[in-house]
Amino acid sequence: MSTYGQFCPVARAMELLDERWTLLVVRELLLGSRHFNDLRRGVPKMSPALLSKRLKSLCRAGVVERTEIDGRTTYSLTPCGAELAGVVHALGEWGVRWMGELGDKDLDAHLLMWDIRRSISIDAWPRARTVVAFRLTGVDPKASRWWLTVSEGTADVCDFDPGYDVAATIEASLRDLTRIWLGELSWSRAILNGTVTVSGAADVRQAVLDWIGQSHMAAVPRPA
């Protein structure tokens, strides 16, 4: 591993943390991913080989712990790694305030749906199994249809029809749904101006917006 050759604690920390993808792997672990395939879903453009390499580096540094549970490899943050929560959150807030508008290269349907799946408040959903379908425009047809299912206290998202009744369908462009999720556009304004359409029973059309909500970063104040 290359070094900066400085005694400064910031420089020494960055010798580990500024390798490409490293902090995003930490972000995924902070958000609850524990298994290799789950981590991959949070960094879909990262190669499996590089993810494996980064996990090994983080384990050697004492940031991540690798264990075998029932024959399955599990990754978790050590107390050392958990202390990075404040760093990651602060970087996220700074990025919301100062990184400007989203470019086309920033849009990723797989990552957006995965982030929605793991961030929604399960308690806000009906107790019975509930499915919400998404129809996205402006993306490859293979990534344009998604189904979010909440059942028995867990959420799952897939890009194939699970075969259950759909309570509501949300139609929007990938860019607009991403902007809503990040708090750049509200659900109410998007529906009012026709950017987003929601179909389903009248009571469900309103409730589904609360079920989905927005990213926790949506609450970050923007500069005037």
Concatenate the DSSP letters of all residues of 17-73 into one string: HTSTTHHHHHHHHHTT--SHHHHHHHSTTS-HHHHHHHHHHHHHTTSEEEEEETTEE
**Residue range(s) in the chain whose domain bears CATH number 1.10.10.10:** 9-98
pLDDT value for 70: 87
Contact assessment for residue 112 and residue 178, using Cβ atoms and an 8 Å cutoff = yes
Residue whose token pair is 């806000």: 124
Rounded-to-integer distance, Cα 191 and Cα 120, Å? 20
In 3D space, the residue among 59, 79, 75 whose CA is nearest the CA of residue 67 turns out to be 75
Q: For the chain, which ranges sit under pLDDT 70? A: 1
Rounded-to-integer distance, Cα 167 and Cα 172, Å? 17
Q: Does this model's pTM top 0.95? A: no
pLDDT value for 113: 97
Inter-CA distances, 157 with 41, 80, 81, 117, 145, Å: 11, 31, 28, 6, 11
**Residue range(s) in the chain whose domain bears CATH number 3.30.1050.10:** 104-212
Rounded-to-integer distance, Cα 156 and Cα 148, Å? 6
Inter-CA distances, 192 with 94, 171, 197, 207, 215, Å: 30, 14, 9, 16, 21
Rounded-to-integer distance, Cα 92 and Cα 24, Å? 11
pLDDT value for 68: 93
The CATH number fitting domain 9-98, selected from 3.60.150.10, 2.40.50.140, 3.30.200.20, 1.10.10.10: 1.10.10.10
The CATH classification number of 104-212 equals 3.30.1050.10
Q: Is 26 exposed, middle or buried (0-12, 13-18, 19+ CB in 10 A)?
A: buried
Phi, psi of 174 (to 5 degrees): -60, -40
pLDDT value for 1: 56
Please write the tens of the pLDDT for every residue from 125-151.
999 999 999 999 999 999 999 999 999
